């Protein structure tokens, strides 16, 4: 038995099993943020939401989601007229948690028309709006929040609770503001003027 155990076949099988267990735990550790984040009804206590602090001391608004779907500024359309985009769009599924990019006070939670359901945070002369959010707000007006603290979730594409909502998708269903799919639109206004969020993040 002992002789058999130390034969090469057993050693190779053992090595494969150990390698599999090692790789499995390695991938779990590294991709936990991306797989768990949207499935929990409350922020996951195992995720450190303050991990992505930029050199400018602001937190990335959507931990685990780095895809920018539209940049700030004038974007070229197919027509002669180019359109102005007041913020930064970050692609993220409905339910994805987003965080306060800096310390501040919540000054608005509600419907803002083209921005859909929106959470607004103020820090001195900066006014930071998170548009197309979930209408199930988890922060209250007047609440003080800290950088990296979860303040809301990316909302659904369609919302049905706004009377006479002028924003509709191609099927005629009312949408969460002017948008074609779930994402976070982040606007930063400095002294009332919209600035490029990437100058801060």
CB of 28 to Zn ion, least distance (A): 34
Q: How far is the CB of 83 from Zn ion (least distance, A)?
A: 11
DSSP state string for the chain: -HHHHTSHHHHHHHHHHHHHHHHHHHHHHHHHHHHHTTT-SS--TTS-TT--B-TTS-B-SSTT---EEE-SEEE--SSSS-EEE-SEEEE--TT-EEE-SSSEEEEEEEE-GGG-EEEEEEETTEEEEEESB-SS-SS-TT-EE-TT-EEEEB--SB---STT---B-TTS-BBSSS-SS-EEEEEEEETTEEE-GGGT-
Q: Is-contact 142 124, C-beta < 8 A?
A: no
Residue from 89, 104, 118, 150 binding Zn ion (CB under 5 A): 89
Q: How many residues lie near Zn ion (CB under 5 A)?
A: 2
User: Of 26-34, 116-124, 133-141, 180-188, which part binds Zn ion (CB under 5 A)?
Assistant: 180-188
Cα–Cα distance for residue pair 172/104, rounded to 1 Å: 38
CA 58 from chain centre, in angstroms, equals 14
Nearer of residues 139 and 179 to Zn ion, judged by Cβ: 179
What is the CB-side half-sphere exposure of residue 127 using CA atoms within 13 A? 12
Give the nearest distance from C-beta 85 to Zn ion in angstroms: 6
Compute the least distance from the CB of residue 42 to Zn ion, in Å: 27
Q: How far is the CB of 92 from Zn ion (least distance, A)?
A: 13
In the bound state with Zn ion, the residue whose beta carbon lies nearer, of 88 and 99, is: 88
Cβ-based nearer residue to Zn ion, 105 or 158: 158
CB of 121 to Zn ion, least distance (A): 17
Among the listed residues 120, 150, 185, 197, the single contact to Zn ion using CB under 5 A: 185
Site string for Zn ion, 28-67 (x = CB under 5 A): ----------------------------------------
Nearer to Zn ion, 33 or 70 (CB): 70
Nearer to Zn ion among residue 70 and residue 143 (C-beta): 70
Binding site for Zn ion (CB under 5 A): 89, 185
């Amino acid at each position: 038995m002992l002789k058999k155990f130390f034969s090469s076949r057993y050693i190779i099988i053992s090595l494969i099993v150990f390698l599999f267990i090692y790789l499995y735990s390695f991938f779990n550790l590294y991709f936990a943020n991306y797989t768990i984040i949207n499935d929990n009804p409350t922020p996951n206590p195992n995720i450190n939401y303050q991990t992505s602090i930029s050199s400018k001391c602001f937190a990335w608004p959507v931990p685990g989601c780095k895809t920018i779907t539209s940049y700030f500024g004038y974007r070229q359309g197919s027509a002669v007229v180019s359109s102005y985009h007041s913020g930064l769009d970050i692609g993220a599924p409905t339910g994805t948690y987003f965080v306060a990019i800096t310390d501040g006070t919540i000054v608005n939670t509600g419907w803002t028309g083209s921005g859909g359901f929106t959470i607004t945070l103020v820090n001195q002369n900066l006014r930071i709006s998170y548009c197309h959010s979930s209408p199930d707000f988890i922060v209250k007006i007047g609440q003080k929040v800290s950088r990296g603290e979860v303040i809301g979730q990316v909302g659904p594409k369609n919302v049905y609770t706004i009377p006479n909502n002028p924003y509709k998708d191609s099927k005629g269903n009312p949408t969460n503001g002017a948008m074609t799919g779930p994402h976070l639109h982040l606007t930063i206004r400095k002294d009332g003027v919209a600035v490029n969020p990437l100058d801060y993040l």
